[in-house]
Amino acid sequence: KAGVTQTPRYLIKTRGQQVTLSCSPISGHRSVSWYQQTPGQGLQFLFEYFSETQRNKGNFPGRFSGRQFSNSRSEMNVSTLELGDSALYLCASMRGDTQETQYFGPGTRLLVL
């Protein structure tokens, strides 16, 4: 099976812009989670979607949003970018019917100037 894919891999934006990141889960997986990784805060959970519904949400401002499509692909959007949003954004997928292994994609590295 193909693994989790994320696009784009690298992105440079300026403050105030918005950005959309995409994640395609492993075939058959219905859950997609998003995480932010920074040197200072480490890996932090953003949100999780299962069958197009947000099932869990982390402690991030409303500028961070996401959605999931009927084919389980997911997008996350960050509006009004701030310098502190520079990070590696990782998406993970799992089957979703039980709590189990999450498989991660290669990540999107976002740099906000």
Partner 1 sequence: SQQGEEDPQALSIQEGENATMNCSYKTSINNLQWYRQNSGRGLVHLILIRSNEREKHSGRLRVTLDTSKKSSSLLITASRAADTASYFCATDGNSGYALNFGKGTSLLVTP
Q: Which residues bind partner 1 (CB under 8 A)?
A: 4, 31, 33, 35, 37, 42-45, 48, 50, 55-56, 58-59, 88, 90, 92, 96, 99-107, 109
Element containing residue 108 per DSSP (H, E): strand 108-112
Which residue's CB is nearer to partner 1, number 50 or number 64?
50
Which residue's CB is nearer to partner 1, number 54 or number 71?
54
DSSP tag of 25: P
Nearest to 76 by CA among 110, 27, 26, 29: 110
Minimum separation from the CB atom of position 57 to partner 1 (A)? 8
Q: Residue 112 and residue 18: Cα distance in Å, rounded?
A: 10
Which structure tokens are listed for 71?
Answer: 């084919």
Which structure tokens are listed for 98?
Answer: 């039980």
Which residue's CB is nearer to partner 1, number 16 or number 52?
52
Minimum separation from the CB atom of position 88 to partner 1 (A)? 6
